[in-house]
């Protein structure tokens, strides 16, 4: 008996540490949202008039640029929810900003890879996974954004957010009451938004530390490197793993140590990224729920359903031609530095057009 207790303690200790990280991340996340919400209201004239974010196309470009600036998509999507709650953006603009945050996050992965290539560490072909991830995100999120935008404007999804909220928001309101008072009293209004953003980035960083370790030897996930799974299986796997990791990049990187040589079959990768792209919005949905915003929940759920529908249509109807097209494009883009720079240049031009439109 005496020998088992220390062993049990050794087993429990890492779980306790992860739980502590999770709680800390949650507390930081709640605090950051409150700070962003308070700090967003004074930003209305700046965002609407100074930088002219006044339509969904601008908002998409803004989300994209913002995600590149903070090197991540999730904090930007959560910020879009606080903008919606504070009345800075309307539902369609907030949704477009979330779409932009996903495009920006994929772009960042590719851009950082390019820097690595330019420094001479690797060839352009090593960026294939990054290029493929960006292409999958672009080809699913952009059509999904159109579907979701129509669904929102026609009011199809108006009631979706109300049922989800329940009493959670009122409990949080009571919990956050003293924090709100403290923030208002101690932090100048111009400092609330930057403070919220820093806390939000910190909360995602702490959340990464709380992730369960999927790198167990002998795991079946490792078979992704050589076995060919049905597209629906890897779609579900991508959705499931990202539901835990909350980030497509983290979800993909989790597969690296699981496969013997750090490889994944292209046929497996595409549905995996599609699935990951659906559940990566769960943290944004959580942010909308914490903010007590039925419209915010409706905006995120509509987009999630849109991405899911577009992905399922691709998987069930045009999967093979779609895979051929994307793999062909990926091979061309990652086939040489000139092609890669041309592709990134086109994306940069698209981004500038979106912002200036």
Partner 1 sequence: MNLLICTDGSQDSLQAAEFLRLLHLPPDMAATMLAVADSSRRAERLQACLSEMQQMLEAQGFHPERLLRRGHLSKEILEQAEAGHYDLVAIGAPERQGLMRNRLTSTASDLSDRLRAPLLIARHVPPRLGRVLICTSAERPARETMRRGGALVSLLGAPATLVHVMSQMALDVHSPQEDLILTAEQAIARGTQEGKHLVEATRWLREAGMAAEITPRLRHGLVVEEILGELEDPEFGLLVLGAHSAAGRGRLLEVLLDDITEQLIATSPCSVLVVWHDPQVHAADL
Site residues, partner 1 (CB under 8 A)? 113, 116-117, 121-123, 125-129, 132, 225-231, 233, 252-253, 255-256, 259, 261-267, 269, 320, 323-324, 327, 330
CB of 237 to partner 1, least distance (A): 9
How many CB atoms within 10 Å of residue 233?
15
Quote the radius of gyration of the chain (alpha carbons, Å): 21
CB of 334 to partner 1, least distance (A): 9
Angle at 296 between CA 99 and CA 48, to 5 degrees: 70
CB of 325 to partner 1, least distance (A): 11
> In whole angstroms, what is the distance from residue 322 CA to residue 344 CA?
21
CB of 41 to partner 1, least distance (A): 41
CB of 330 to partner 1, least distance (A): 8
Task: Kindly tell me which of 60 and 340 has the beta carbon lying closer to partner 1.
Answer: 340
Torsion, Cα 224 227 230 233, to 10 degrees, reads -30
DSSP assignment of 47-96 equals: IIIIS---SHHHHHHHHHHHHHHHT-SHHHHHHHHHHHHTTSS-HHHHHH
278-290 as b/e, with b when 16 or more CB fall inside 10 Å? bbbbbbbbbbbbb
Task: Kindly tell me which of 269 and 276 has the beta carbon lying closer to partner 1.
Answer: 269
38-49 as b/e, with b when 16 or more CB fall inside 10 Å? bbbbebeeebee
- CA end-to-end span of the chain: 71
The CA–CA distances, whole Å, from 104 to 67, 130, 248, 258 equal 5, 12, 12, 27
CB of 256 to partner 1, least distance (A): 5
């Amino acid at each position: 008996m005496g020998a088992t207790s220390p062993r049990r303690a050794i087993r429990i200790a890492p779980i306790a540490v992860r739980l502590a990280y999770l709680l800390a991340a949650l507390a930081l996340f709640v605090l950051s949202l409150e700070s962003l919400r308070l700090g967003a209201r004074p930003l209305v004239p700046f965002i609407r008039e100074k930088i002219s974010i006044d339509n969904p196309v601008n908002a998409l470009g803004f989300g994209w640029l913002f995600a590149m600036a903070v090197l991540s998509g999730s904090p930007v999507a959560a910020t879009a929810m606080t903008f919606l709650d504070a009345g800075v953006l309307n539902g369609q603009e907030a949704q477009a900003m979330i779409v932009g945050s996903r495009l920006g996050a994929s772009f960042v992965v590719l851009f950082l890879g390019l820097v690595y290539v330019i420094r001479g560490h690797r060839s352009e072909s090593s960026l294939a996974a990054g290029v493929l991830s960006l292409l999958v995100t672009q080809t699913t999120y952009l059509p999904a954004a159109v579907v979701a935008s129509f669904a929102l404007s026609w009011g199809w999804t108006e009631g979706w957010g109300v049922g989800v909220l329940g009493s959670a928001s009122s409990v949080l309101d009571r919990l956050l009451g003293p924090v709100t008072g403290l923030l208002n009293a101690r932090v100048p209004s111009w400092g609330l938004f930057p403070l919220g953003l820093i806390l939000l980035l910190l909360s995602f960083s702490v959340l990464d530390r709380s992730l369960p370790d999927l790198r167990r030897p002998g795991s079946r996930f490792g078979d992704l490197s050589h076995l060919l799974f049905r597209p629906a299986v890897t779609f579900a796997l991508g959705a499931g793993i990202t539901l835990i990791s909350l980030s497509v990049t983290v979800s993909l990187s989790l597969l690296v140590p699981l496969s013997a040589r750090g490889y994944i079959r292209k046929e497996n990768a595409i549905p995996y990224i599609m699935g990951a792209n659906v559940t990566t919005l769960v943290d944004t949905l959580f942010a909308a729920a914490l903010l007590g915003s039925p419209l915010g929940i409706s905006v995120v759920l509509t987009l999630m359903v849109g991405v899911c529908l577009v992905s399922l249509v691709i998987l069930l109807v045009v999967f093979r031609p779609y895979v051929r097209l994307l793999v062909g494009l990926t091979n061309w883009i990652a086939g040489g530095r000139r092609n890669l720079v041309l592709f990134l240049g086109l994306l940069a031009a698209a981004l500038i057009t979106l912002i200036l439109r």
